Structure 1
Amino acid sequence: MGVKYNREYKEIVEDFMKAILQIDDCYDAFEMEQKEWLELAPEEQRAYLRTLADDLFYGLGTSRTIAVGSGQIRYNPSKHTIQVTDARDVVRIVNLV
């Protein structure tokens, strides 16, 4: 199936990384505790988030919903968006076109 997009991939990933970071326990995806995550330098956190954003982007091509920590990532092909939610609310929508 694949995720369809028309924006620069780099821009999408940047927005996606910011959105993932809004999930309070996004570090769960790396099997880390909060303390471990907070001990990482900002550039190390960015590297982890970049890898996760890439992996999730391609994973959404086969599964429209993927759990990340207490949140969820949902691909909506009809609206060309990726919706990021935390445990309670939508925290960010990433536009793909």
Structure 2
Amino acid sequence: MGVRHGREYELILKELTDAVGRIPDSYLFFEMEEEEWERLESAERAEVQEALAEDLFYALGEESVITVGSGVIIHDRNRYRIDILIGEEELTFVSLV
């Protein structure tokens, strides 16, 4: 189902893809080893990160907090946004409206 949003899905997906790309070990979400990730070409990495962003968008409709490597993705329903954290520090967020 995904999260409720007022912005175009494509814009949200692009921003979410960029955001998860900033998590240095986001590949762990797919149970990849660092060596596997390092062997991927940049275009392949971009595809994996976009797939991750799509998975997160839909999963956040059911689960409001999801761990991605050393990051945490949080659907903030009250502020209509998706927060991306590493540790206690906000890395970025994606607005849904």
TM-score normalised according to structure 1 size: 0.92
Structure 1: how far apart are the matches of 2:30 and 2:2? 24
> In structure 2, the residue corresponding to 1:83 is in which secondary structure?
strand
Farther off after superposition, 26-35 or 55-64: 26-35
How do 1:9-88 residues align onto structure 2 when only pairs under 5 Å count? 9-88=9-88
TM-score normalised according to structure 2 size: 0.92
> In structure 1, the residue corresponding to 2:11 is in which secondary structure?
helix
Q: CA deviation at 1:88?
A: 4.2
Structure 1: how far apart are the matches of 2:84 and 2:14? 14
> In structure 2, the residue corresponding to 1:92 is in which secondary structure?
strand
Farther off after superposition, 52-61 or 87-96: 87-96
Identity of aligned residues (%): 38
- Asked if the contact 1:16/1:94 (under 8 Å) is kept, the reply is yes
Unaligned runs of 5+ in 1: none
Structure 2: how far apart are the matches of 1:78 and 1:2? 16
Structure 2: how far apart are the matches of 1:18 and 1:48? 12
